[in-house]
Amino acid sequence: MSEAMGARRFQIPESVWNRMTDAERWAANQKFLDRSIAHGDQIILATPAGNARPGSWFKRELEYHMGKGYGPSADGTRLIPPGAP
């Protein structure tokens, strides 16, 4: 979906991901998120926030964005950066 929309997405090859510790995985993930936050990007959600799997990376990403002041769009399909209309 992200390719079709021209959106950036976090992706690491399986062979690399499998060799990383959870801390390394989150560090890589967080670096990607911080870059997107610094750009003021909106985040397009493939899954509504409320449907996140407990304990998933996706839920952790949502919590991270919430901590950075992001909020869901009215229709719940995007996360909007703080201060955006």
Partner 1 sequence: MEIPEHIRQVIGFLESVGLSRKAMVKGNGFGSGVITYENGVRVRIVNDRGDWFIEVSDLRQPNEWYDLALLRDLLGDRGPDVLGAPEQAAILTSRWDAICSIFEPACAAESHRRLQRLREERAKRWFPTWYK
Binding site for partner 1 (CB under 8 A): 11-14, 17-18, 25, 49-59, 62-63, 66, 71-72
- Please list, in sequence order, all residues whose beta carbon lies within 8 angstroms of the beta carbon of residue 19, skipping any fewer than 6 positions away: none
Nearer to partner 1, 18 or 85 (CB): 18
- Give Cβ neighbours of residue 8 (< 8 Å, ≥ 6 apart): 2, 32, 36, 41
Q: Considering the complex, state which of residue 44 and residue 49 has its C-beta at the smaller distance from partner 1.
A: 49
Query: CB of 38: closest distance to partner 1 in angstroms?
Result: 21
Q: How far is the CB of 48 from partner 1 (least distance, A)?
A: 9
Which of 36/79 has CB closer to partner 1?
79
